[in-house]
Amino acid sequence: MRVVLLLITMLPIRAQPESIAFDKAITGKLPADWTAAMTHAGPPPRWEIVRDESAPSPPNVLAQLSRDRPAGRFPLAIWNRALLQDGELSVAFKTVDGSVDQAAGIVWRYQDPNNYYIVRANALENNVVLYKVENGVRASIAPKGLPSRSYGVKHPIPSGRWNTLKVSFSGAKIAVFLNQERLFEAEDMTFQKSGKIGLWTKADSVTYFDDFTFREQKTSQTNKTHHANNKEQL
């Protein structure tokens, strides 16, 4: 007797990357299809287009310009035209000013202003840290291979210069990159649903962003048929 086995394989498919530059947006305003939001109370953020000829894609960049100092205040700019579950994000950033913080971050699996993942670089602390914000509470996620209470990784973040922050995420797995260097990996299961993507700063950080790029990873199901002989014993 022949037994037919159907083998199902799930293969990842990476879509073409989409990049958002801001050169056609109107200076002094938040671009279309973006929403300003904030985690925790405080004065509202001020996201708008400004000119910067030093940008990777000049002349325009998206800037967070408010200088309100509360350390628990997290300004957000959320891109409304994409929902990603798995994929990768990157952005060019330049920290310009800030005495409490000089931070730049990217957000994914965003559900609302109190629930999302974020990885950020900080030019005052010279480190890169991965967090989850769950019900408004921010908690760091330790890199794999380090003690559970480890706080990101130390790395020079030059202020006033353009850098590139990148994150890839699939299921519970997360990988973080700075300027094409793979810094660390981590795992977390808190947010597994698709969510929006966006940008993040903290406190009085004045930060410029350019070339916001994302790519979705989907899965494709392939079926393979395997024939096996099964001899019956009479």
Instruction: Give pLDDT tens digits for 183-233.
Output: 999 999 999 999 999 999 999 999 999 999 999 987 654 444 444 444 433
Q: Which tens digits make up the pLDDT trace of 59-88?
A: 999 999 999 988 889 999 999 999 999 999
Residue 15 counted as domain residue: no
Q: Contact at 8 Å (CB) between 211 and 165?
A: no
Residue 184 counted as domain residue: yes
Residue 141 pLDDT greater than 50, yes or no: yes
Residue 114 counted as domain residue: yes
CATH code, domain with 96: 2.60.120.560
> In 3D, which of 199, 208, 213, 212 has the Cα closest to residue 55?
208
Residue 51 counted as domain residue: yes
pTM: predicted TM-score of the whole model, two decimal places: 0.86
Name the residue with tokens 């973080």.
176
Return the amino acid letter for 105.
Answer: G
> In 3D, which of 79, 75, 101 has the Cα closest to residue 198?
79
Residue 12 counted as domain residue: no
Q: Tell me how many domains the chain contains.
A: 1
